[in-house]
Structure 1
């Protein structure tokens, strides 16, 4: 006995498994299990089924199924393996038959290439000598008109005839008329500054004269009255402030 069948039987017996239990687990007939263990391969079914029996039996016994199947085929079907090996074509390495060029042709080609490069360099140098650097363009006459200095404008204070600023420090009723046109008639709150301009005159009336700061052309003037007192005044262009 080669050892194949003995390995199956000894492993089965080491687990304490009977042939009947193997048959129940693997669904392989007891007759075929005994044939595998005794290496009586002649009563087994065709190779495809028999190899399946071997692999299933090996898995049950925790053995290498692929290795046992290969061993089983070598023992039970050596002629089939030999035919497969004989029918397998042997690949031959193809050698590339490159055309062999005569050394004279190669030398002539190299010489021609060198001559072509040399001639090309001569031609490029000849063209470089004939190309002259472009002469610089003539200077462009500056026809820009002379710059006329800009005279500074007159300060705003010269064009502004009268400017009135009112700023209460508490709520106050205010009325303002500039050059005869009514500009304001409202109650201003604390810190609510108002600015008015006129060409000839500005008239102002305050309901709480002592609570309002008045500036004419940014110059603070005296209060027009006491707190809670109604006061009025007209500022004219001709007056000096």
Structure 2
């Protein structure tokens, strides 16, 4: 019997419906169904996901710690990214001067190669992040024809349009408890559960990335635009806002 099926059996044995467990734990029924089907893809990341399984197990009368350990043990942990190893320090050698110079040359070449590989990896990662961002919609304005100027009268010059504002400001407000993870310009800025009525403001130069566990429970405001819900109730959503896409975010 799988961990999810064990939770479902315990729930049905107590005569509880998913809706009743959802009200007691404040967890969406879709997430509870995913737990019973051992589908970790629909469960928010840890530690929020562990808290959901723990609350479900306690509600149906099972050992919370054992249920959490058994449920997540069936999924392989996410491997850590492979990073280039730092160059090993050269061991002292007692050779002739000609051999010492040769070793020094080899070490210089190795250090240069490692530095170049590090730069290539960093640039490649930056390119992938740029590609993952939604493309900005370019708007081409059509200029009106300029009327012919009369003799002796200079035509008025067109006033240049003000440059677009730079940066991104995102204000989040929870209407009920909701898990939120956010990063600003590639650095983590928020990773916790917002309480009902709690507000958070995120300011970035290049991009603001927001991921929510319940899009219907979070209202957001981008660069002063009218606030609106991030999505439907129970929907897990990820949004990336840049200066070029802030005006068309919905």
For the superposition of Structure 1 and Structure 2, which TM-score range results when normalised by the shorter chain?
0.3 to 0.5
Given the two structures, how large is their TM-score scaled by the length of structure 1? Answer: 0.33
* Higher Cα Rg, which structure: 1
Higher helix share: 1
Larger RCO, structure (CA 8 Å, separation 6 or more): 2
Given the two structures, how large is their TM-score scaled by the length of structure 2? Answer: 0.32
